[in-house]
Chain A
Amino acid sequence: MNSLGVVMLVHTALDRVEQVARHWTASGCPVVIHVDRKVGDPDYSDFVAACADDPLILFSERHVCEWGGWGIVAASQSAAALMLERFEDVRHVYLSSGACLPLRPIADLIDYLADRPRVDFIESATTRDVSWTIGGLDLERFTLRFPFSWRKQRKLFDFHVRLQRTLGLRRTIPDGLVPHMGSQWWCLTRQTLSAILQDPKRKEYDRYFRHVWIPDESYFQTLARLYSTHIESRSLTLSKFDYQGRPHMFYDDHLQLLRRSDCFVARKVWHRAERLYQAFLTDQDSALTPAEPNPGKIDRVFSKAVERRVYGRDGLYMQSRFPRAANERSLTAFPYSVFQGFTELFEDFEPWLANATGARVHGHLFHPERAQFAGNETMINGALSDCAALRDYNPSAFLSNVIWNTRGERQCFQFGPSDTQKINEFLARDQNAQIAIISGAWAVPLFRSNLNFADIRCEAARLQQIESKQLRLLDAARAKARIHIWTMADFVESPIEPLQTILEDMGAPQPTHLTEPPTMIDLSGFGKFLQNLKNQGMHPYLMGDFPVNDVFGAQAKSFKKPYLVQ
């Protein structure tokens, strides 16, 4: 006879239940099994017959068990009462389910409990302190009534809760009870358990808890607080829950994780996890030094799973993750920079930028003919092609693919009013986008071109229209991107400061000292060029105020000298 008794609540996979029960009794622990009344008769009687040869296995009175209903508590009560009555040596009663699997030798658990004869292991916290509540109900679990099933009659359930809230209906909690909640898998001492079961006010408590929501997580947890002399508020059963409050399953590939956890019992184990049952139900050597349970590593695996299910990987679009734009933290996987007007104004901007930041610097990714990938490649990571038709078929997919495929490496690309413009909306909404614009710089290539002036005038008008439309879009209050816009006149006057800002934003290696700025194109005559456009009836305004007499031109020339900024 042994000081540890096990209560098992089961409803399915009865062959596994028998296997586990015999494992307990082999170490001398008596087992009381409660089989859900929903289990049909041939199955039940076969199961009882199969266990009949073992005197340490008993079956308790059967109740119907629904998730979140009173049946589970009633089942635990009658099974525990039977255990206390029939096995007088039992000092601790361990509540487990049919999907629980002992991970360490039973003797370890018996010794562990023998060293702590007065300790009740039951997770029990006040409603204020728990974060795992489902359906947003915590204290209200105890003050409202719940006649409807949450899983099967969700609409009625919600409606009834709302109704009670609006009508202000409240139940009174019986005197002396402080609601506590916690994992339903406990291990209580005979003293505490019998005090709960033989309480003169048990009828009153039972009546009250019958209409509390999920009483199996609060009945023993609350009442144990009345009688226990020493509560250790944790469960000896390793059990992890997903974001919907359902327990995670353990499979064969968790074997090593479970071994190293040093926990006594784990749940839930998939009933066909052959290797787990085989590994843990055969005789194992007792631990040399008594180890405390240490589920840290398992915790990490499962909390990562929950995080993946709830938040997912930023910037990933796939068959099972396609966020609505409004719900997305960021539209892409990694920060990136967009430059507009810089290659027009500086002769060697792309190599200079690559050199200064170490980022991958592309040309115009949205060039009408093809995506100009860095190094003149026709394809980049992920076998993403430079084909303009494929790109323009779904520009946001194209850009998010570029960023996802190269995640970890900073991407920069050039943009301008002569590129395909469909991506602007996406850029504005993406908080990973850092956009730097020198407005009006598109005029510089025209200024240096060899076109007829009438054609230049036409083209200038077109580009100006496109860019001003783009600027209006980026200016909208809902833009989440980090946007810097300078007029060309402002920028040319003191180019160092904006360049410095950009580099700092990108987290370049030496952000404070810009030693070698890129070479600016000679702008002498540009003011006159703009004036000519004006004289022809076009009004170039995006570049800001350029004086006709080339004051800027003189200054622009001086930039060619190397200089330092302290």
Chain B
Amino acid sequence: MRLRRKRRLLRCLRRRRDLKAVDDNTANIKPNDILLMSVVRNEKIRLPYFLEYYRKLGINHFLFVDNDSDDGTREYLSSQPDVSLWWTDASYKRSTFGLDWSNYLLRRHAHKHWVLTVDPDEFFIYPFCDTRPISALTDWLDDTGVRSFGTMLIDMYPEGVIEDAPYHEGQNPFEIAPWFDAGNYMITRNPTYGNLWIQGGARARAFFQDKPSKAPALNKIPLVKWHRRYAYVSSTHALLPRGLNQVYEEQGGEKTSGALLHAKLIDTLGDKAREELRRQQHYGASGEYKAYASQLDDKPVFWNKWSEKYINWRQLEILGLMSKGNWA
């Protein structure tokens, strides 16, 4: 495992040459600042709300990698005062799906900071997020000696056909896609890294009925008190050293955990799927996007009478999709 971690770190050091700093404001990062790390490609339409949401939670500084966007993402991000931006046109796939880039930037800039690593369509929810800023959570985690915080990705979807509710820039995506599946998740333990492997939800139900083992993983560990020796090994599903993956209790209790609301299943998905299919740059030979593209032509509707409409974190906690643990 140590070797594997070292290899990850070496890889990220090698790939650092891919990155060109466009706008480096990292000198403004103060010692206790909470950071956010994200790799984006053609996400201009999503970014304004994304930044607004996370600024409100209390993120102090954003680290972005722009993978050769051509929709104005780069210009938009470099005009933001609390954003540091790097640009690359190197292969997403060859950088282990962006992981090498973010591992490098985390190592370089996030050492001894709490840092949230999310995609631009993921929105972090934690207990009391409506009344306490994210620093309340990280202070409490520091106090209790916890270094990493686990979440589950929850696919959100609209009531009808995806294309029927268009998303416009700056909008809260959950205004048009507030629905989710509450109780069809499947969990196993991954012995290699000691993390949980969660599958299920709307995508598994609609796209992966015949091959459930291929359904996307929903377990994520996005919030970590970073140390330069750490490395993500497979998206944010798992990291090394392995102890960081122990975000779950095995003796019957509940640790504190959150959720990532996933705004993927909105009307930008169709274009995205077709583009990604063309680029062939995603995990598992873009198998996931293959499934989407072929099934999206049939205009699937995810909604059914058992879908839950998102209200707030307390609802998720009652449904058992996250937990306050002993944070009260």
Give A residues with C-beta under 8 Å from B. 242-244, 246, 248-249, 251-253, 270, 272, 301-302, 304-306, 308-313, 316-324, 327-329, 379-385, 387, 389-390, 393-394, 397-398, 401, 404-405
Contact = CB atoms under 8 A, between A and B. Distances in A.
What 3 A-B pairs come out closest when comparing CB atoms? A382-B183, A320-B257, A309-B326
Contacts of A313: 254, 320
B236 interface: no
A56 to B, nearest CB: 31
Nearest to B202: A383
B252 A320 contact: no
B173 interface: no
Nearest to A394: B186
Given A306-B326, A320-B150, A320-B256, A381 B183 contact: yes
A252 B132 contact: yes
Contacts of B298: none
Interface SS, A side: mixed
Given A308-B323, A308-B325, A319 B304 contact: no
Contacts of A249: 136, 139-140, 143
B262 to A, nearest CB: 14
B81 interface: no
Interface in B270-328: 304, 306-308, 320-328
Nearest to A320: B257
Given A383-B304, A401-B183, A401-B184, A309 B143 contact: no
Contacts of B243: none
B251 interface: yes
A246 B320 CA distance: 26
A324 B304 contact: no
Given A253-B128, A318-B321, A320-B248, A312 B184 contact: no
Contacts of B139: 249, 270, 272
B197 to A, nearest CB: 10
Contact of B254 (A244, A320, A384, A385): A320
B187 A322 contact: yes
Interface of B: 128, 131-133, 135-136, 139-140, 143-144, 150-152, 181-189, 196, 198, 200, 202, 204-205, 208-213, 219, 247-257, 304, 306-308, 320-328
B218 to A, nearest CB: 8
Contacts of A380: 306
Contacts of B219: 319
B97 to A, nearest CB: 21
Given A252-B132, A308-B324, A384 B252 contact: no
B135 A246 contact: no
B252 A318 contact: no
B118 to A, nearest CB: 15
Contacts of A316: 254, 320
B184 A323 contact: no
B306 A381 contact: yes
B252 A383 contact: no
Contact of B250 (A311, A323, A387): A323
Nearest to B139: A270
B325 A309 contact: yes
A390 B219 CA distance: 18
14 contacts: A242-B144, A251-B128, A253-B131, A272-B133, A272-B136, A301-B328, A305-B328, A309-B253, A312-B249, A318-B152, A380-B306, A381-B183, A383-B183, A393-B213
A324 B250 contact: yes
A381 B319 CA distance: 11
Contacts of A248: 328
Pick from A242, A382, A384 the residue with the most CB of B within 10 Å: A382
Given A380-B306, A384-B183, A321 B322 contact: no
Contacts of B136: 249, 251, 270, 272
Pick from B143, B186, B196, B198 the residue with the most CB of A within 10 Å: B186
Given A383-B306, A389-B209, A394-B188, A322 B250 contact: yes
Contacts of A320: 150, 247-249, 254-257, 322-323, 325
A251 B322 CA distance: 20
Contacts of B213: 393
A118 to B, nearest CB: 37
A317 B140 CA distance: 24
A272 B144 contact: no
A305 B326 contact: yes
A333 to B, nearest CB: 9
A319 B188 contact: no
A327 B326 CA distance: 19
B252 A328 contact: yes
A322 B185 contact: no
Contacts of B204: 390
B67 to A, nearest CB: 28
A384 B186 CA distance: 11
B32 to A, nearest CB: 11
Given A309-B255, A319-B151, A394-B188, A383 B181 contact: yes
Given A249-B143, A319-B247, A393-B213, 5 more contacts: A308-B325, A318-B322, A320-B150, A390-B184, A393-B212
Nearest to A397: B186
A383 B205 contact: yes
A397 B306 contact: no
Contacts of A393: 186, 212-213
A319 B186 CA distance: 10
Given A305-B327, A311-B252, A319-B152, A385 B187 contact: no
Nearest to A255: B131
A382 B182 contact: yes
A401 to B, nearest CB: 5
B301 to A, nearest CB: 12
Contacts of B189: 322
Contacts of B252: 310-312, 321, 323, 327-329
Given A251-B132, A319-B151, A385-B205, A310 B253 contact: yes
Contacts of A384: 183-184, 306
Given A249-B140, A383-B182, A322 B196 contact: yes
